Amino acid sequence: MLESGFPRAHRVDATYGYLAPVLGAGNFDFVNQKAVWPSMGNYCSGGTFNSALLSCNSIAILPEEMSRECLEELSDQWYDRNYWRNIQNSTQAIDEEIEAFNGEVGL
């Protein structure tokens, strides 16, 4: 279910640490509450993505002085159907480079 198009990055995984315990304990009111994700972009994009996966309404709070480029990237994360697939492809290439480096240094 999550394999195709699911972003695997620190900004996504870290948000489960806050969201999962509240959901698991039954302390989230899906009708009257929203998950709030304040940050410069990375953390809130992961939080809002996970919230959507878990059927929680959420709000991303971004600083007023955030650059246009960051706002456009956040918008792409929601509206560009290929955004996460492209990120996933980049992640795989980085993982391959890390493995090659580790092999060279004997790790």
Neighbouring residues of 47: CB distance < 8 A, sequence distance ≥ 6:
15, 18, 19, 35, 37, 39, 58, 60
Q: What is the pLDDT along the chain (107 residues), one digit of tens a residue?
A: 344 455 555 556 778 778 888 888 999 888 899 888 887 667 777 788 788 888 888 888 877 777 777 778 777 777 777 776 777 677 777 788 888 988 998 87
- Residue 55 has a CB neighbour count (10 Å cut-off) of 8
Q: Which domains does the chain have, with CATH numbers?
A: 10-105 (3.40.50)
Radius of gyration of the chain (CA): 16
pLDDT digits (tens, 9 = 90+) for 64-80: 777 777 778 777 777 77
pLDDT digits (tens, 9 = 90+) for 93-106: 778 888 898 899 88
